[in-house]
């Protein structure tokens, strides 16, 4: 049985589940455009369901919703270089009844100097690193050696990393989390696909400028921890990639 929410019960800080992607924002942000469908939902003029964890649920594109929130917060929109989902974002704007956002998307599409739009994003460097190996079948019988990543690390200016990776950034191991005006090397990503990280950086206007790798572990004679496969340990390696947005 789905839960419904009314105006009297609406909190000032709202936790959202938009198509499986989680957001936290203020009620004032969601209701900023009083004429929008989004405002009517969170002003109690229409009902909204909750998911199993009590978050307000919207069955829409969760990734594109970040641009909806950006527009509501800043009354402006900045799309990354090479953004290919303009029409899908327009559909989201129309669904939420945000005519100003729809107009901004159209104006962005007609702007021939798209690079200048991207220049509104802060410049800086981000380093992405990963430690990996190759996963082997039992007794080494697998025909294909599959790449195995234990963790993808992110280093750089905190505010820049948050802006680029958003909800996929895991800050749990960062001792000073909450402070944006600093640099850190203690972030990692919640997913284990290095190409997903690269796609995210490319969409945000970053370019690869340098990379390095450690090679494999060689003879693998060191004492292994319990449960560590000796064959996989022989192929351990570490790689780093440096990206810049100018």
- Residue 215 phi, psi dihedral angles, 5° rounding: 80, 180
CB atoms under 10 Å from CB of 50, counted, come to: 15
Identify the pLDDT of residue 7. 43
Which pLDDT score, from 0 to 100, does residue 77 have? Answer: 78
Q: For position 171, what pLDDT does the model report?
A: 82
How far is Cα 36 from Cα 31, in angstroms, rounded to an integer? Answer: 8
List all residues 6 or more positions away from 26 whose beta carbon is below 8 Å from its beta carbon.
Answer: 12, 13, 14
Please spell the DSSP secondary structure of 199-212, one letter per residue.
HHHHHTT-EEEEEE
Q: What domains can you pick out in the chain, each with its CATH number?
A: 3-118 (3.30.710.10), 124-245 (no CATH)
Integer distance in angstroms from the first to the last C-alpha of the chain?
51
* Own/partner long-range contacts of 169-174 (Cβ < 8 Å, ≥24 apart): none
Mean pLDDT by 10 residues, the chain (246 residues): 51 91 92 89 85 92 91 82 83 92 74 38 89 69 66 90 86 69 87 90 92 72 61 81 93
Structure tokens at 145: 């050696």
Residue with tokens 């929410």: 5
- Among 127, 91, 89, 155, residue whose Cα is nearest residue 241: 127
159: which residues sit within 8 A by CB, 6+ positions away?
Answer: 122, 180, 181
| Partners of 155 in beta bridges | 127
Around 29, how many Cα atoms within 13 Å sit in the side-chain half-sphere? 20
Confidence (pLDDT) at 45: 78
């Amino acid at each position: 049985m789905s839960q419904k929410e009314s105006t009297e019960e609406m909190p000032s800080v709202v936790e959202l589940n938009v198509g499986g992607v989680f957001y936290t924002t203020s009620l004032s942000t969601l209701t900023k455009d009083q004429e929008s469908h989004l405002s009517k939902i969170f002003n109690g003029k229409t009902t909204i369901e909750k998911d199993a964890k009590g978050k307000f649920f919207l069955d829409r594109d969760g990734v594109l919703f970040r641009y909806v929130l950006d527009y509501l917060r800043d009354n402006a929109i900045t799309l990354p270089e090479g953004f290919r989902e303009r029409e899908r974002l327009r559909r989201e704007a129309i669904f939420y009844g945000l005519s100003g956002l729809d107009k901004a998307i159209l104006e962005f599409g007609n702007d021939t100097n798209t690079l200048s739009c991207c220049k509104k994003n802060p410049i800086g460097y981000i380093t992405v690193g990963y430690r990996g190996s190759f996963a082997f079948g039992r007794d080494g019988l697998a025909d294909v050696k599959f790449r195995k990543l234990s963790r993808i690390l992110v280093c750089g200016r905190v505010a820049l990393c948050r802006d680029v990776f958003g909800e996929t950034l895991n800050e749990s191991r960062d001792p000073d989390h909450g402070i944006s005006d600093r640099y850190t090397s203690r972030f990692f990503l919640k997913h284990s696909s290095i190409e997903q990280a690269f796609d995210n950086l490319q969409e945000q206007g970053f370019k690869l400028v340098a990379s390095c790798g450690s090679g494999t572990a060689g003879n693998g004679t060191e004492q292994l921890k319990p449960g560590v496969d000796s064959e996989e340990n022989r192929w351990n390696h570490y790689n780093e990639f440096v990206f810049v947005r100018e």
